Amino acid sequence: MKYCLKQITGVNLNADKKFFSKIGFNYFTMGLTAILFQILIINIIYFINSDLINNINFLSILSSFCNYILPLPIFIYLMRKLDSQKIKKERLGIKKFIIYLSISFTLILFGNLIGVFITSLILLVTNNTIVNPVENLINSTDILLNVVLISFIGPIFEELFFRKLLIDRTIKYGAKASIITSAILFAFFHGNLSQFFYTFLLGGFLAYVYIKTGRIIYPIIIHMVLNLMGSVVSLLSDGSLTAIMNSAFTITEVITVLIYTILILTLLLIGTFNLLHYKKDELLKEKMQIPLKTIFLNYGMVCFILFFTFLIINQIV
Tens of pLDDT, residue by residue over 17-72, are: 999 999 999 999 999 999 999 999 999 998 888 888 888 888 889 999 999 999 99
76 falls in which pLDDT band (50, 70, 90)?
very high
pTM given for the model: 0.90
Q: Once rounded to an integer, what is the mean pLDDT over residues 168-193?
A: 95
pLDDT at 165: 97
8 falls in which pLDDT band (50, 70, 90)?
very low
Cα 64 to chain center, whole Å? Answer: 14
pLDDT at 181: 98
Cβ neighbour number for residue 125 with a 10 Å cutoff = 8
Reference 27, options 160, 132, 172; nearest CA is 160
Q: Where are the domains of the chain?
A: 13-316
1 falls in which pLDDT band (50, 70, 90)?
very low
In whole angstroms, what is the distance from residue 163 CA to residue 158 CA?
A: 8
In whole angstroms, what is the distance from residue 183 CA to residue 176 CA?
A: 10
Per 3-state DSSP, what percentage of the chain is helix, strand, and coil (rounded to 5)?
Answer: 80, 0, 20
On average, the pLDDT of the chain sits at: 87
